[in-house]
A and B are shown apart, each in its own frame.
Chain A
Amino acid sequence: MTALSDSAELAKQRSGYALRPPASLTLICLFAALTGAAMVALTMGAAGIPLARLPAALGLWGDAAAAGPNLARDQLVLWSIRIPLIAAAAMVGALLAASGAIMQGLFRNPLADPALVGVSSGGALAAAAAIVFTDSQIGQSLRFMQHHLLPIAAFAGSLVTTIILYSIASRSGRTSIAIFLLAGIAIAAIANAGVGLLVFIADDRQLRDITFWMLGSLSGATWPKLATLAPVLALALIACVWIARGLDVLVLGEAEAFHSGVDVERLKRISIVLVSAMTGVAVSVCGVVGFVGIVVPHLLRLVIGPAHRLLLPASMLLGAVLLVGADTLARTIVAPAEMPIGILTAAIGAPFFLGMLLRQRGLVSL
């Protein structure tokens, strides 16, 4: 009897122990996974390019003559379609996963996700509004800058949503997880109603553009769009290093973080702007793609722990891997057609989220 309870005690203790791989190993493995996923993604698609023809088509090595008559076609497919697509998938995945991780740190809540609580919908509403209104007579002169307007509008929409969400869910330094999720549902509903209204008044061409946001698709990825993603990603990388310690300490609560020397108000402002910028620019490129921000940081915390200094860059890498993989799957399972990637991530992510919810029931008490 004693032996039994002793071993049970031991098992209980052992389960709470954290054995974590070194940071460098984690990042190297994730980087290798990303490279592998990108290589596979390059070969797959409506026009298949076997791995053997890849180096020549990329202009790396290999005999161009040996690649034969397919070389020109391969190069066209790769450089004008597939490489921008994969780069966009990787960058969007990185942005969504890291913005999920920052949001979870900000709300001290592992169930936060920009798409789940309406931040992405807020961005999509603003983007849809930008499409419809820059098209109208007043906006005629603005049409040429629609390209730049969409990310800015989506950022603004996400920012407003995040601020509303924060002010509803936080009261005197405490955040109620239940209120937060419920408020997020309501905000998402309002934003979706707004998008619905815009769909109602939109003409055919606008309708096609808006539908693209509602499904979440990477098929519109082009080089200029990469040029809007890249600076935000670079900025996010720098900011992540800067806010990592603050987010760690914030887990103790706002008052405790303040007592520990964190400028909590500044940290919250930076985090909110950052989450909105990252979500907004991702939405402006590929629409609402959910659950990346919740699945990736959660999986990583199980392996590498919750410290943000490593969690944020690792989330970026794993988010990139996940979205490149999901995009490849989306391009192949119903080939030659292409499934919107938002459908795929929701189909995988939503059951995952339900599983988390069941395991963490205690957290979600009103």
Chain B
Amino acid sequence: MTAILEAQSISMTIGGATLVDGIDLRIKAGEMVAIVGPNGAGKSTLLRMLSGDLRPTRGQIRLKQREIHAYPPRQLAHHRAMLSQHVNVTFPFTVEEIVHMGAGDTGRAAAQRLVDAALGEVGLTHFSHRQLPTLSGGEQQRAHFARVLVQLACGEEQHGPGLLLLDEPTSSLDMRHQIDLVETARQRAQNGTAVIAVLHDLNLAMRFADRIVLLHRGKLAVDGGRADAITAETIRRIFEVDVTIDYTDQGVPFLLPQTMRPAGPG
């Protein structure tokens, strides 16, 4: 399958500091990729470059075989949707109005159908007429996720599978909604969307992602399936934490940080 997004040795240097250093990345339709790494590894910067928001100081990014900066904003929004980490809304828009913003120039009836579906998916149907600033942080985040889902759906109806970017989408969600959100993204990937999510929680990343991209000091440390990417040795080297890795009955790895170094080798 052809790549939806292709980044060739992209770098970002701001004021002499190299935040992202020569990263190559190829994401196919239907693939779900988790970007993980310690604080300051350049995860968010990388994601903002992949979204077309930041222009890399070196290298090139192609979205569906076309240079990403060659798209006018409106067209770009048809092919990729992005959920940012902190969105602060100062005016009393209702949840429904915010989610509607994802629909862009889509017709009224079609937009309303997608908005209702997305509100149902994030479990905010009963909150649709509440003012967004009166909701809790997690509920607001879900509303913005619904908005991004609407944008993605509008684009995909016209142009086929697109790209969904999520920057720490679970940061203020409780455990159930973390799983719901990542599960929803996972479903989108099964329908052909290419999904890239910056995730903090390595267990969540291992549970849901096809591929894990581990960043360390702006460089790509590991890019591979969860078994290659996450080993106790890698975690110790990059996160400076000792972990135990075990497997569930289904063979999904999970990771337990150790507060004390294990006595024996292991």
**Residues on A facing B (Cβ under 8 Å):** 13, 15-19, 108-110, 248-249, 251-253, 255-256, 258-264, 301, 305-307, 363
For window 69-98 of chain B, which residues contact chain A by CB distance below 8 Å? 72-78, 80-82, 84, 87-94, 97-98
Other-chain contact of B92, A109, A261, A262, A306 (Cβ < 8 Å): A306
With a cutoff of 8 Å between Cβ atoms, the chain A residues found around residue B131 in the complex are 16-18
Distance to closest chain A CB from B88 (angstroms): 7
Other-chain contact of B84, A13, A17, A109, A253 (Cβ < 8 Å): A253
Cβ contact within 8 Å between A305 and B93: yes
**A252-B90 in contact given A18-B129, A259-B82, A260-B102 (Cβ < 8 Å):** no
A109 to B91 CA separation, bound complex (whole angstroms): 8
Q: Mark B102-146, 1 if CB is under 8 A from A, else 0.
A: 101000000000000000000000000111001100000000100
A13 to B98 CA separation, bound complex (whole angstroms): 18
A5 to B91 CA separation, bound complex (whole angstroms): 28
**A255-B84 in contact given A260-B77, A305-B93, A306-B92 (Cβ < 8 Å):** yes
For window 239-260 of chain B, which residues contact chain A by CB distance below 8 Å? none
A307 to B98 CA separation, bound complex (whole angstroms): 10
A253 to B94 CA separation, bound complex (whole angstroms): 17
CB-nearest residue of chain B relative to A263?
A: B73
* B51 lies within 8 A of chain A by Cβ: yes
Distance to closest chain B CB from A252 (angstroms): 5
Other-chain contact of B74, A110, A252, A263, A306 (Cβ < 8 Å): A263
Other-chain contact of B73, A18, A109, A264 (Cβ < 8 Å): A264
Other-chain contact of A253, B81, B87, B97, B98 (Cβ < 8 Å): B87
A110 to B151 CA separation, bound complex (whole angstroms): 27
Pairs across A and B, CB under 8 Å, 27 listed? A17-B131, A18-B94, A18-B130, A18-B131, A19-B129, A110-B91, A248-B93, A248-B97, A249-B101, A251-B89, A252-B89, A252-B98, A252-B144, A253-B88, A255-B84, A256-B87, A258-B53, A260-B102, A261-B74, A261-B75, A261-B76, A261-B77, A262-B73, A263-B73, A305-B92, A305-B97, A363-B90
With a cutoff of 8 Å between Cβ atoms, the chain B residues found around residue A108 in the complex are 90-91
Cβ contact within 8 Å between B129 and A17: yes
A301 to B131 CA separation, bound complex (whole angstroms): 12
With a cutoff of 8 Å between Cβ atoms, the chain B residues found around residue A262 in the complex are 73-74
Distance to closest chain A CB from B125 (angstroms): 14
A307 to B170 CA separation, bound complex (whole angstroms): 28
Cβ contact within 8 Å between A306 and B91: yes
CB-nearest residue of chain A relative to B48?
A: A255
With a cutoff of 8 Å between Cβ atoms, the chain A residues found around residue B73 in the complex are 258, 261-264
With a cutoff of 8 Å between Cβ atoms, the chain B residues found around residue A18 in the complex are 92, 94, 129-131
Distance to closest chain A CB from B93 (angstroms): 6
Distance to closest chain A CB from B94 (angstroms): 5
Cβ contact within 8 Å between A306 and B87: no
A263 to B104 CA separation, bound complex (whole angstroms): 12
A128 to B72 CA separation, bound complex (whole angstroms): 42
With a cutoff of 8 Å between Cβ atoms, the chain B residues found around residue A110 in the complex are 90-91
Cβ contact within 8 Å between A305 and B94: yes
Which residue, A252, A259, A263, A307, has most C-beta atoms of chain B within 10 A?
A: A259
With a cutoff of 8 Å between Cβ atoms, the chain A residues found around residue B80 in the complex are 259
Closest 4 A/B residue pairs (Cβ): A261-B77, A16-B134, A306-B91, A261-B74
Cβ contact within 8 Å between A248 and B101: yes
A261 to B94 CA separation, bound complex (whole angstroms): 20
A108 to B78 CA separation, bound complex (whole angstroms): 25
With a cutoff of 8 Å between Cβ atoms, the chain B residues found around residue A264 in the complex are 73
CB-nearest residue of chain A relative to B97?
A: A307
CB-nearest residue of chain B relative to A15?
A: B134
A102 to B73 CA separation, bound complex (whole angstroms): 22
A363 to B101 CA separation, bound complex (whole angstroms): 23
Distance to closest chain B CB from A249 (angstroms): 5
A259 to B73 CA separation, bound complex (whole angstroms): 7
Cβ contact within 8 Å between A251 and B84: no
With a cutoff of 8 Å between Cβ atoms, the chain A residues found around residue B48 in the complex are 255
With a cutoff of 8 Å between Cβ atoms, the chain A residues found around residue B92 in the complex are 18, 301, 305-306
Distance to closest chain B CB from A347 (angstroms): 27
Distance to closest chain B CB from A85 (angstroms): 34
With a cutoff of 8 Å between Cβ atoms, the chain B residues found around residue A13 in the complex are 130
Which residue, B73, B81, B144, has most C-beta atoms of chain A within 10 A?
A: B73
Cβ contact within 8 Å between A252 and B91: no
With a cutoff of 8 Å between Cβ atoms, the chain A residues found around residue B75 in the complex are 261
CB-nearest residue of chain A relative to B93?
A: A306
With a cutoff of 8 Å between Cβ atoms, the chain B residues found around residue A15 in the complex are 134
Cβ contact within 8 Å between A259 and B129: no
CB-nearest residue of chain B relative to A360?
A: B90
Task: Given contacts A251-B89, A261-B77, A363-B90, list 20 more A-B pairs with CB under 8 A.
Answer: A16-B134, A17-B129, A17-B131, A18-B92, A18-B94, A18-B129, A108-B90, A108-B91, A110-B90, A110-B91, A249-B101, A251-B90, A252-B98, A253-B84, A259-B81, A260-B102, A260-B104, A260-B151, A261-B78, A263-B74
Distance to closest chain A CB from B87 (angstroms): 5
Distance to closest chain B CB from A285 (angstroms): 30
With a cutoff of 8 Å between Cβ atoms, the chain B residues found around residue A306 in the complex are 91-93
With a cutoff of 8 Å between Cβ atoms, the chain A residues found around residue B130 in the complex are 13, 16-18
Distance to closest chain B CB from A133 (angstroms): 41
With a cutoff of 8 Å between Cβ atoms, the chain B residues found around residue A263 in the complex are 72-74
